[in-house]
Amino acid sequence: MKTIIEPFRIKTTEPIKIISRKEREKALEKAHENVFLLDAEDCCIDLLTDSGTGAMSTRQWAAMMLGDESYAGSRSWKHFESTVQSITGIRHVLPTHQGRAAEAILTQTLIKKGDVIPNNSHFDTTRANIEYVGGIAENLLCEQGLDTADQSPFKGNMDIEKLEQCIAGYGRERIPFAMITVTNNSGGGQPVSMANIRAVKEVLDRHAIPLIIDACRFAENAYFIHEREKGYAGKSLLEISREMFSLADGATMSCKKDGLANIGGFLICNNDEWAEKFKNLLIIREGFPTYGGLAGRDLEAISVGLMEALEYDYQVYRQATVRYLSQKLVDMGVPIVRPAGGHAVFLDARKMLPDLPVLHYPGIGVINALYLEGGVRGVELGSVMFGRFDDQGREHPAPLELVRLAFPRRVYTQSHFDYLGEIIEEVWKNRGKIPGYRITYQSPFLRHFTCHFEKLAS
Ligand SMILES: Cc1ncc(COP(=O)(O)O)c(C=O)c1O
């Protein structure tokens, strides 16, 4: 087997620099030990997110020049609408400026206080949008998804029995819709099988509950179905995507992921009544329904990007990159989520630092150590992001303490990943010196973005 090469060559470059360790220490201190508050220029390999950080293709840049900036009914809107419809088969398309805007319109239109929204795992913005309107966000991930060492092929699947219990427990009338997130970002970027989406739909149909797909990484999920699920090897990623969406009543999408664009999103549905309500809120919040907070040129870039994300060679290269780094880490003995997810490598910080109490945030310890060691920026997906407070104000940790190193699309080359491997190796060797942290400032929603940390004495 020959090396899987990047299926592109580089036409434009963007400089990165490596600042000294002393400068990194200063920068992190100034950022209150929270890497979200660092200047991007001070991060040499920025793996904070795969969202909106990708490189666009020549075809996308060319399409941007064709952007029609008419306020209403632009050519670019037609292109966007027909592309989304051809991939999803879903009738009503509402463009939004990003995924959480689609979530806000969905939740503020359909959820009443006390309603319950099941999902395999809610992403943080989805949970926040649900809780903001008084809803309850239930995670019903399969057991394998909670075991970072389990090698099952579809660890993003929803647990069907938990779904049945959730519906029986809360009652159908409290569940205006259910969601399934493909791939499952919060649980390690793990895919969801077609069989599981079908099984979820069957249960929901019995109770007349609509299904909304959180479709941010639909193309990566389609690739995993192609590779791992019986009966799909002969189908194109477009055909697989169509089948996935045929099981849904609607979807939210952040085009900053599998739209291969730097901004954008959409909300889609088949229900005419919902579409009417969504449109009314869209006009107040985002803009006229044929641009929805996006420029005509963005609509063009997304339309091309969505189709490029479904190119098989692109997905082969992308997943090879993820596997390349994860294999290096497995060889070093670093505990990671296995098999590797679609858009990131997830380090298991709890296993890396077993002696650190979970509420001393081992994920933050590892994140900050990576930055100090080599200017690498990742993100904690653990108790800071997903921890919860009970009625007495007691903090409960998240089930997993993960550190996500998300891969921007078409941005870094193999030598960047080799460097990354070296930095992680150093951190792993010196893990005994990593301190715990406590929070000194936090906001009531999505605290991880802005909170301040203080190092605890070891
Ligand atoms: C699964 C999932 N849903 C929703 C979102 C929100 O999308 P956006 O960042 O475009 O608002 C994200 C973003 O990372 C995500 O990963």
How many whole angstroms separate alpha carbon 47 and alpha carbon 10?
20
Same domain, 93 and 228: yes
**Is there an atom of ligand 1 within 6 Å of 356 CB?**
no
Using alpha carbons, select from 32, 117, 3, 95 the residue that is nearest to residue 296.
95
Domain boundary among 280, 308, 336: 308
Same domain for 330 and 265, yes or no, is: no
Residue 139 DSSP SS3: strand
Residue 51 CB less than 6 A away from ligand 1: yes
**C-beta separation of 83 from 75 below 8 A:** no
Residues 144 and 286 in one domain: yes
Tell me, yes or no, whether 333 and 234 share the same domain.
Answer: no
Does the residue 4 lie in any domain? no
Q: Which of 318, 124, 92 is nearest to 221 (CA)?
A: 318
- The answer, as to whether pTM is greater than 0.85, is yes
CA–CA distance, 220 with 98 (Å, rounded to integer)? 19
**Judgement on whether residues 262 and 320 belong to the same structural domain of the protein:** no
Q: Is residue 198 part of a domain?
A: yes
- Of 286, 308, 330, the last residue of a domain is 308
Is there a single domain that holds both residue 437 and residue 373? yes
Number of domain units in the chain = 2
Is 450 part of a structural domain of the chain?
yes
- Domain co-membership, 112 together with 232: yes
User: Do 202 and 316 have their domain in common?
Assistant: no
113 and 193 together in one domain: yes
Question: Residue 372's domain spans which residues?
Answer: 21-50+312-455
Please list, in sequence order, all residues whose beta carbon lies within 8 angstroms of the beta carbon of residue 193, skipping any fewer than 6 positions away: 153, 154, 157, 225, 228, 229
- Partners of 336 in the β-ladder: 347
Residue 390 in tokens? 């009970």
C-alpha torsion sign, points 119, 122, 126, 131: positive
Residue closest to 103 by CA, chosen among 115, 91, 117: 117
**Predicted pLDDT at 445:** 81
Nearest-angstrom CA–CA distance, 209 and 211:
7
Taking only the tens place, the pLDDT of each residue in 333-378 is 999 988 888 999 999 999 999 999 999 999 999 999 999 999 999 9
Q: Tell whether 331 and 260 lie within a shared domain.
A: no
**Among 103, 181, 254, which residue has the most ligand 1 atoms within 8 Å of its CB, making it the best to mutate?**
254
* Mean pLDDT of successive 10-residue stretches along the chain, which has 458 residues: 91 94 98 98 96 98 98 98 98 98 98 98 94 97 91 96 98 98 90 98 98 98 98 98 98 98 98 98 96 97 98 96 96 93 94 96 98 97 91 91 96 96 98 96 91 92
Mutation to probe ligand 1, out of 100, 302, 448 (largest number of atoms < 8 A from CB) = 100
> Is residue 10 a part of any domain in this protein?
no
Location of structure tokens 């007691």: 394
**Ligand 1 proximity of 125 Cβ (cutoff 6 Å):** yes
**Of the residues 285, 308, 331, which one is the last residue of a structural domain?**
308
Helix crossing, 218-228 with 237-246: angle to 10°? 110
Counting ligand 1 atoms within 8 A of each CB, the residue from 51, 126, 179, 298 with the most, and so the one to mutate, is: 51
CATH number of domain containing 95: 3.40.640.10
What pLDDT shows up at residue 174? 98
The pLDDT assigned to 188 comes to 83
Is the distance from the beta carbon of residue 256 to the nearest atom of ligand 1 less than 6 Å?
Answer: yes
**Residue 38 shares a structural domain with residue 129:** no
Phi-psi region of 446 (alpha: psi -120 to 50; beta: other; left: phi over 0): left
Contacts with 418 (C-beta within 8 Å, 6 or more apart), sequence order: none
In a domain, 233, yes or no: yes
- Report the residue count for the chain: 458
| Residue 188 and residue 165 in one domain | yes
Could you tell me if residue 13 is inside a domain? no
In the prediction, which pLDDT does 446 show?
84
Report the candidate in 280, 253, 235 with the shortest Cα–Cα distance to residue 95: 253
Angle, alpha carbons 29-188-440 (nearest 5°): 25
Residue 9 lies in a domain: no
DSSP of 206-245, one letter per residue? HTT--EEEE-TTHHHHHHHHHHHSTT-TTS-HHHHHHHHH
The CATH number linked to 399 is: 3.90.1150.10
Query: How crowded is residue 185: how many other Cβ atoms within 10 Å of its Cβ?
Result: 29
In a domain, 11, yes or no: no
Q: How would you classify residue 372: left for phi > 0, otherwise alpha for psi between -120 and 50, otherwise beta?
A: alpha
